[in-house]
Amino acid sequence: MQYKPKRSRAIALPNSEFRARATEYLDFLAAWVKKPRQTASVVPSSRYLARLMVAQIDPLDSGRVLELGGGTGVFTRAILATGLPADRLEVVEINPGFARGLRRHFPTVSVLETPAQIVSTATAGEPGDYQTVVSGLPLLAMDRGMHADILSESFRMLRPGGSFVQFTYSMRPPVNREVLDALGLDVERAGQTVRNFPPATVFRFFRQGE
């Protein structure tokens, strides 16, 4: 009997998007192991959540955009995909490992390793120059005092009509009503997606009366 060698099956190498998402997951997992309260999740946000987060951004508007908690760059990528010029985006990330990764993947974007509650000390834009703040910060892991400081600083940078966009894994806004009233702010649900782990809800914060 003549021996016939078995045909080997070709193994497709993962594409660049798969490799990027695998790297994001590993980076996120490592950060969660080191500082679980700061990272808040063991997986990065999905592209479906990212689309909801950036829906308010108008790339033709002259206003700048500020991202808080850039992480592995899921929201950063979505912000740039709207067509917003890179020089009108600033990303805040205090985790040194994440900050290095953001600078590597987005070399034309300004990455600020500055706490969100004092971000105005490091931004290129002035108060009133920003159309949107996109926040990936784990607000549910923070206290009311931190919520007040972050929102106060963000709305100091936002122009009239500007929005602070935040996602959470809860169906309720992550900021207490008393804090919002003290700052003269209101909130509305902007969207929800189950195509994220865990499922997430997006809220838009804005000045009362706007």
pLDDT one digit per residue (tens) for the chain, 210 residues: 454 444 444 444 455 545 555 555 455 445 444 554 444 444 567 899 999 999 999 999 999 999 999 998 999 999 999 999 999 999 999 999 899 999 999 999 999 999 999 999 999 999 999 999 999 999 998 999 999 999 999 999 999 999 999 999 999 999 999 999 999 999 999 999 998 888 999 999 999 999
Pairing of strands 158-168, 200-207: antiparallel
Cβ neighbours for 60, distance < 8 A, ≥ 6 positions apart: 83
Closest CA to 111 of 135, 81, 137, 76: 76
* Paired residues of 201 in beta bridges: 168, 192
Q: Can you give the pLDDT at residue 45?
A: 77
Domains and CATH numbers, the chain: 46-207 (3.40.50.150)
Q: Quote the pTM value.
A: 0.81
Strand order of the sheet with strand 185-193? 110-112, 89-92, 64-68, 130-135, 158-168, 200-207, 185-193
